Amino acid sequence: MKLHHQPMTRSSRVRWLLAELDVPHEVAHVDVFMGEGRKPEYRQLNPHGYVPALEVDGQVILESSAICLFLADRHLDKGLAPAHDSPLRAKYYQWMVYVPATCDPAVEAIMFHTRFLPEEKRLPALVESSKKKWRICERVLAEGLGDKPWILGDAFSAADVVVASSLGWARFADVLGEDPKLRSYLERACMRPGFTAGHSG
């Protein structure tokens, strides 16, 4: 199994989950910040040039959440996904899709248009509308978390890898709100040994 990875990107979610699952894997670094994703060899794996991409069993799997869903199910015995017949499955799917479909685009737009793009290409109106969307995301995540330690309840799962990484990204973009429950949830997630291992490069 080979993960195409760049630290501090969405492939870090997969790296973190692989560490939590304790699954042996090879890491191929693709410096997307230096344009390595655009090389023709890499575009054969991911035509968009994005990380992550996971090579496994003769297939290439794209999309960080899809890869996390696949890995957590493949190692269901490790307890990082609810059982297939568990009532928690519905919310599990919700969070695994909600983050990349709704939260990530908001934070990504904020980051690009406040930091990464040259000043003349930044769109302040997009930053404002994305901040509004992110505030709704935070409310949905906070309500989903409630008073539980983890997003599905007492047990840490792959959904926490995905949700906490989105919150971490929002903190990096300087838009994480003050909700104490979300903040302590993020701290709790970042203190896991798997988090440290998954972010070590």
Ligand X SMILES: N[C@@H](CCC(=O)N[C@@H](CS)C(=O)NCC(=O)O)C(=O)O
Residues in touch with ligand X (CB under 6 A) = 9-10, 32, 37, 49-52, 63-64, 100
For the record, the structure tokens of 113 come out as: 């248009």
| Distance of closest approach, residue 154 Cβ to ligand X, in angstroms | 27
Nearest distance from C-beta of residue 71 to ligand X, angstroms:
13
Residue closer to ligand X by CB (options 63, 179) is 63
Q: Using the 8-state DSSP alphabet, how is residue 50 labeled?
A: P
Q: How far is the CB of 43 from ligand X (least distance, A)?
A: 10
d(CA 146, CA 63): 28
User: Tell me, what DSSP letter sits at residue 114?
Assistant: I
Q: Which is nearer to ligand X, 10 or 75 (CB)?
A: 10
Nearer residue to ligand X within complex by CB, 84 or 121: 121
> In whole angstroms, what is the distance from residue 165 CA to residue 107 CA?
11
Least distance (Å) between residue 81 CB and ligand X: 18
Token look-up 């997630």 returns: 189
Quick one: 17 or 51, whose CB is closer to ligand X?
51
Q: Tell me phi and psi for residue 87, to 5 degrees.
A: -65, -15
